[in-house]
Amino acid sequence: MTATGRRVLVGRIVGLYGVQGWVKVESWTEPRTQIFKYQPWQLTAPGQDMEIDGVKGRPQGKGLIAQLPGVDDRDGAAALVGQDIYVARELLPPPGKDEYYWVDLEGLEVVTTEGVVLGRVSHVFATGANDVVVVRDGERERLVPFVQGVYVRSVDLSGGRMVVDWDPEF
């Protein structure tokens, strides 16, 4: 893992394929096959973490399948089902103008346009309409829609700050 140690969740092992250790993979990359270009993978499940490099994969039907080095039978593959697939943040391409990886927003201080500190970004999640930033200050949690120009006025990654047009009482 890199010096910063930031990881990005890019997929999950969701099932078995065949008897030679192949697994079914759900990918959240765009395009979905891009997940195979980002390596090594950090596989995580409760109580275990492992790094795997040299994964090979391809589309199969409506999904993706992968062959992981050192996993050559169905039993070995079954032990990996349900594990999340993370990669080092530095492996991903730079985001476009006014685009951000969620992991880059985590930890930013959030202040209102009037300078009231609301807390720090805990995490971000998607809804049907827009992404939502979860801001925590130790006492309360606020959900701020990540709509740039409306609620989110500026994001300064290097300065560690996000300015929002948001009522501190809400």
**Is 27 in the same domain as 54?**
yes
Q: Concatenate the DSSP letters of all residues of 11-42 into one string.
A: EEEEEEETTTTEEEEEE-SSSGGGGGTS-SEE
Q: How far apart are CA 73 and CA 85, in angstroms?
A: 20
* Same domain? 108 vs 144: yes
One domain, residues 32 and 61: yes
Q: Do 59 and 111 share a domain, yes or no? A: no
Determine contact, residues 15/82, Cβ cutoff 8 Å: no
Domain region containing 138: 102-164
**Number of compact structural domains in the chain:** 2
- Residue 68, CA distances (Å) to 21, 41, 102, 113, 169 in order: 8, 10, 27, 49, 50
14 and 86 in one domain?
A: yes
Residues 81 and 123 in one domain: no
Domain membership flag for residue 96: no
Q: Is residue 120 part of a domain?
A: yes
Tens-binned pLDDT, residue by residue, of the chain (170 aa): 333 578 999 999 999 999 999 999 999 998 999 999 999 999 998 888 899 999 999 999 999 999 999 999 999 999 999 999 999 999 999 999 989 999 999 999 999 999 999 999 999 999 989 999 999 998 999 999 999 999 999 999 999 999 999 999 98
- 113 and 84 in a common domain: no
CATH of the domain at 59: 2.40.30.60
First to last CA, the chain: 39
**What is this structure's pTM?**
0.79
Q: Domain boundary residue among 90, 112, 139?
A: 90
